[in-house]
Amino acid sequence: MRLTMIGTGYVGLVSGACFSEFGHHVTCVDINPERIDTLNAGGIPIFEPGLDDLVKRSVSAGRLKFTTDIKEGVDGADAVFIAVGTPSRRGDGHADLSYVYEAARQIASNVTGPCVIVNKSTVPVGTARAVEKIVAEVAPPHQVEIASNPEFLREGSAINDFTHPDRVVVGVNSDFARQTMREVYRPLFLRETPIFFTGWESAELIKYAANSFLAVKIGFINEIADLCEKVGGDVKDVAKGIGMDRRIGDKFLNPGPGYGGSCFPKDTLALLKTAEDYEAPVTIVTATVDANNNRKHAMVDRVVNACGGNVSGKTIGILGLTFKPNTDDMRDSPSLEIIPALQKLGAKIRAYDPEGRHQAEPMLPGVEFADGAYEAVEGAAAVVLITEWNEFRALDLRRIKANLAEPVFVDLRNVYIPSEMRELGFTYSSIGRS
Ligand code: NAD
Ligand code: UGA
């Protein structure tokens, strides 16, 4: 089949590369000429493990190409996927659909035959219908149907998530769209991946409900972690104990500094906006959003307390800036709340992140960037581990201690074992372990 991806970000580029690995011919279109130049020069504009090799393989097999030209991009396409950003709209938290609508208009104006426009971006209920209206206004001389195909991949494990998903959700309202989407996903269907067809509205809501449910799960374990600290429990044991119940499951029960990233924060807000519009409150998500915002500030208090109640004039070494490991994505990372708050209290920040520096530098003025973990903690009054990159799991802790001015270790991801840290002579603070 001939497929087109509109947008070459974390979703568009990964999906495009994976579809071409399945054997489809894929053209990726982006309005950002730098991105397309980088891709055409053999580079990858984002950090995602394994993407480099996958893209190279498909490009040299002649199944994957990149262009800024929408006309060239949709020429002969059987399906055109919209994978552009849907950030929170400034001021009100609704999803900003302007990029989606613009892409739909461009596609409809350039199709050269019957095709399906597929919303892969995360979009609120009603968007498929709105895209259908845009297509009707453009009135292309070919049959154009709409499908809603939300994406569930996670950054850092995006290729495996895309090629081995728990399910594929496709919202359709025509046989043509259903048949086309069945063909698109045939390689996964042959691997017995459930392909779940629904109507447009359900598909759109499934995406927001899934992300919001996961956010609630994280919010829940974070509050249980706080309770553990008060009552003398260990949140790792509590999470394991409840997770062994298959009705609950053991995933997404790791406490931390609050969820971040390009999706949970904006998607929970957008769900709440839809709920408000339709007067069907989802109060559990409201509570989760509030608790997650407060949590980042509570992490600042935790660092200040670990430093004896005052960080003014002290250097704090930060390990990890991205919202999770194995990505360079800084969008809504907890570090963007924690670091400026510490700076406001007079702390000097020296930070290290294995891949996040290029995005983080413009977002974190006043921060000194180090080239490694040991350099970041040199002469610091405390080290704060914010993101659990693998290279922070096997630190030479004696070297860390020797480099620190004070042996204070604040571990916001529970990477280390409290008794071992105490034996090494650290004043160690972690999450949900009294
Ligand atoms: P991104 O910001 O990384 O990439 C979006 C790309 O679209 C950019 O390169 C931008 O230049 C391009 N673009 C915008 N308008 C365009 C147009 N008219 N024509 C061509 N290109 C255009 O975004 P992302 O993280 O890949 O997310 C895309 C969507 O997928 C969002 O709705 C997001 O919520 C959803 N999603 C993201 C993830 C994730 O892990 N990042 C996972 C699942 C779903
Ligand atoms: C999330 C979902 O997991 C994907 O299914 C979805 O497709 C994607 O959002 C999206 O819609 O964009 P992602 O944001 O890449 O994926 O990363 P996650 O692994 O879900 O982590 C999100 C945040 O939650 C991170 O800040 C992470 O540290 C935090 N988290 C996650 C926890 O604090 N505890 C956990 O147990 C899991």
CATH number at 393 reads: 3.40.50.720
Q: Provide the pLDDT confidence category of residue 250 given band limits of 50, 70 and 90.
A: very high
pLDDT surpasses 80 at 142: yes
* Residues 262 and 113 occupy one common structural domain: no
How long a stretch of residues is the chain?
Answer: 434
Q: Which residues are catalytic?
A: 263
Q: Which residues pair with 383 in a beta bridge?
A: 317, 409
Q: How far is the CA of 420 from the centre of ligand 1 (A)?
A: 43
pLDDT surpasses 80 at 434: no
* Residues 165 and 294 occupy one common structural domain: no
Note the pLDDT of residue 93: 85
Q: What is the mean pLDDT of the chain?
A: 97
The residue-averaged pLDDT of 373-395 equals 98
* Residues 349 and 248 occupy one common structural domain: yes
Last residue of a domain, one of 158, 178, 198: 198
Query: pLDDT (tens digit, 9 = 90+) per residue, 288-325?
Result: 999 999 999 999 999 999 999 999 999 999 999 999 99
User: 149 with 118: CB under 8 angstroms?
Assistant: yes
Total structural domains in the chain? Answer: 2
* Residues 215 and 120 occupy one common structural domain: no
Q: Is 0.85 surpassed by the pTM of this model?
A: yes
pLDDT surpasses 80 at 32: yes
Query: pLDDT (tens digit, 9 = 90+) per residue, 218-248?
Result: 999 999 999 999 999 999 999 999 999 999 9
Would you give the end-to-end CA distance of the chain in angstroms?
Answer: 57
The residue among 229, 220, 216, 178 whose CA lies nearest residue 199 is: 178
Q: How far is the CA of 340 from the centre of ligand 2 (A)?
A: 23
**Counting beta carbons within 10 angstroms of the beta carbon of residue 136, is it exposed (0 to 12), middle (13 to 18) or buried (19 or more)?**
exposed
Last residue of a domain, one of 151, 182, 198: 198
Note the pLDDT of residue 89: 87
Q: CB of 222 closer than 6 A to ligand 2?
A: no
Q: How far is the CA of 90 from the centre of ligand 2 (A)?
A: 23
Rounded to whole angstroms, the Cα distance separating 279 from 302 reads 38
Q: CB of 389 closer than 6 A to ligand 2?
A: no
* Residues 430 and 405 occupy one common structural domain: yes
Rounded to whole angstroms, the Cα distance separating 260 from 276 reads 23
Q: Which ligand is nearest to the CA of 214?
A: 2
Ligand 2 pocket check: which of 13, 252, 263, 332 to mutate, most ligand atoms within 8 Å of Cβ? Answer: 263
User: Domain range holding 13?
Assistant: 2-198
pLDDT surpasses 90 at 7: yes
* Residues 126 and 160 occupy one common structural domain: yes
* Residues 145 and 217 occupy one common structural domain: no
The residue-averaged pLDDT of 368-386 equals 98
Rounded to whole angstroms, the Cα distance separating 265 from 263 reads 6
Q: Which ligand is nearest to the CA of 104?
A: 1
* Residues 176 and 240 occupy one common structural domain: no
* Residues 29 and 164 occupy one common structural domain: yes
Instruction: Using the atom order of ligand 1, give the atom closest to the CA of residue 267.
Output: 34
Note the pLDDT of residue 90: 83
* Residues 153 and 240 occupy one common structural domain: no
CA dist 184 → 26, 118, 178, 180, 299 (Å): 11, 11, 10, 6, 45
Last residue of a domain, one of 169, 198, 227: 198
Query: pLDDT (tens digit, 9 = 90+) per residue, 52-62?
Result: 999 999 999 99
* Residues 237 and 278 occupy one common structural domain: yes
CB under 6 Å to ligand 1: residues?
A: 6-12, 29-32, 35, 83-86, 99, 102-103, 106, 121-122, 151, 153, 155, 262-263
* Residues 163 and 228 occupy one common structural domain: no
pLDDT surpasses 90 at 178: yes
Which amino acid residue places its CA nearest to atom 12 of ligand 1? 7
